[in-house]
Every structure is written in C-alpha cells, then in structure tokens.
Amino acid sequence: MPIIRLDNLSKRYPLPDNKKASFLAVDSVSLEIDAGEIFGILGPNGAGKTTTLEMLEGLNDIDGGSASIDGIDVQKNPFAVKKLIGVQLQANEYFDNLSLVELLTLFGALYEREIDALALLDKVNLREKASAKPDNLSGGQKQRFSIACALVNEPKVLFLDEPTTGLDPQAKRNLWDLVRELNGAGMTIVLTTHNMEEAEVLCQRIAIMDHGRIIAQGTPAELIQTHAPEPPAAPLHGNLEDVFLALTGHGLRD
C-alpha cells in the first residue's frame, strides 16, 4: 500500500543567465512508494532527484502538483508531515561544543521527546563515541550519526540523500547493513544515490530521473532485463549502470 504519493509534482527555478525565464527542475513527476520498501531514485547531477526529496520533506516549496505522506498533504500540512519523517542530508552542521549524546538530546527536545540517546547510538554502532564531538568522527561515523539524528522522532519514512558518498568500502557496507536493519523493522526508506551497486543491493524498486522527469522505474531485475539484457563483455546480462547509460546516454556525474 503506498505511503508516499506524488502527482504531477513540479518545481521551477530561474535560469542563471536570464532571471526572467525559468526551467523545470522537476517536471510533472508522478510516483507511488509502498510502505515498508526501500525505494531508490537515481539520476545524474541536476536530474531533479534532490529537489524532489526536498519538496517531499517540506524543505522546498511545491510549484505544481501535489505530494502526500501517509495520507497527509505535504503542502497543506508540512508540520504534520515532519513528525512522520526523518531526513539525512548530504551535509550537516552541528553545534561544535556539544557531544553526540548532547546533540541527540537537543534534537529530541526540539521534537518534544525524551529520548534514550545511548540506545540511538547503539542502533548506529556509535556508543563508544557518545562523548565525542562531531568533528572527531570519521566520514562513515558522521554519516551514521546523521542517521541517528534522523531517527530521533521514530519516523515512519526515512529519507537518505546520497548516504554513502565519499565513504570507503567498509564504511559503505556498514551503512548498508544499518539501512537493511531499519527497513527490516518496518521503516520505509527513500534514498538517492550515484552508486549503482548500492541501488541494486538495497532497493526493491528504483526510479531513474533525467532532466526533471522519471524516465524508467521498476525493480532492479526488471530494469536490467528491459534496458540492458545483453551488454558487451557480459555473459548473462548487464547491470544497473548499463541501464542508466542506455537510458540517459551519459554517466551519473556528467
């Protein structure tokens, strides 16, 4: 059953060299995401995937269409939606003089919740860093702590925006294990990624965006069979990276 619905969702921005003109960063996107699934949104830089997430999260205004989470209209009732979601951003800034436990307690207070900060740190395997400051964490630890912050309000839906960018292979796989664990407990997870292996390993379904539109969606196996069944130098079939190149004609970071 869908927990997230997008109906002709659109966002315009002014052109950099002509402020009187505009372009559609997100162009009439319609999508349904089922409760309890890990759903991936892939696309090259500028495809509109982060803007789409920001509108769902209430961090960016919706210019056209509508979006709802758990039956609540994002535009009409953004504060009610924020109680249902957790958001892990690509970059975070924290109060430098507070420890991880103190920061989690502060975030809990913002949601008017009394939280068990150590239990949250246990969930992301950071208890031993409870008294550390964010600047003293490694890249993978910072990503896991940002997810702990996103879990403070016990969300139904967790948004992850390129969660493993810049991480070493071990830190990346540790974060994958955390995502699987959270999903196994019933949490719906929506992630954007540039990592094809990540999308194929984690996501039950995927939407590929380009130029503000969804150009394909389905399970990883369906996309591979449809768009890259017999790539060169592969004995059985292609992978999601072959699907992406076949659909968009360029690499993820072009």
pLDDT in tens, 44-101: 888 999 999 999 999 999 999 999 999 999 999 999 999 999 998 766 667 778 999 9
- Which domain covers residue 31, as residue numbers? 1-84+156-166+178-220
pLDDT greater at residue 166 or residue 117: 117
The reply to whether 252 falls in a domain is: no
Q: What pLDDT does residue 254 have?
A: 46
- For residues 139 and 79, membership in a common domain is answered with no
Q: What is the dihedral of CA 143, 240, 57, 145, to 10 degrees?
A: -10
CATH number at residue 12: 3.40.50.300
Cβ contact 240:223 at 8 Å = yes
Same domain, 190 and 121: no
Domain count, the chain: 2
Identify the residue whose tokens are 């830089």: 45
Q: Measuring CA to CA, which residue among 61, 127, 130 is closest to residue 99?
A: 130
- Same domain? 29 vs 79: yes
- Any domain includes 229: no
- Alpha-carbon distance of 203 to 39, in angstroms, equals 5
Q: Do 142 and 162 sit in the same domain of this protein?
A: no
| Closest alpha carbon to 41 in 236, 170, 246, 212 | 212
- On whether residue 254 sits in a domain, the answer given is no
Least confident piece of the model among 72-86, 110-124, 177-191, 240-254: 240-254
Residues 192 and 116 in one domain: no
Confirm whether 135 is domain-assigned.
yes
Q: What is the reported pLDDT for 3? A: 97
Residues 182 and 72 in one domain: yes
134 vs 217, residue with greater confidence? 217
Q: How many angstroms separate the CA atoms of 123 and 86, rounded?
A: 15
Residues 182 and 148 in one domain: no
CA distance 223 to 200: 10
Domain identity same for 72 and 41: yes
Q: How far apart are CA 1 and CA 8, in angstroms?
A: 20
Q: Are residues 16 and 137 in the same domain?
A: no
Instruction: Encode pLDDT of 174-192 as tens digits.
Output: 889 999 999 999 999 999 9
> Residue 204 and residue 19: Cα distance in Å, rounded?
40
Judgement on whether residues 161 and 64 belong to the same structural domain of the protein:
yes
Hey, how many other C-beta atoms are within 10 angstroms of the C-beta on 138? 12
The residue count for the chain:
254
Q: Do 125 and 141 fall within a single domain?
A: yes
| 45 in the same domain as 29 | yes
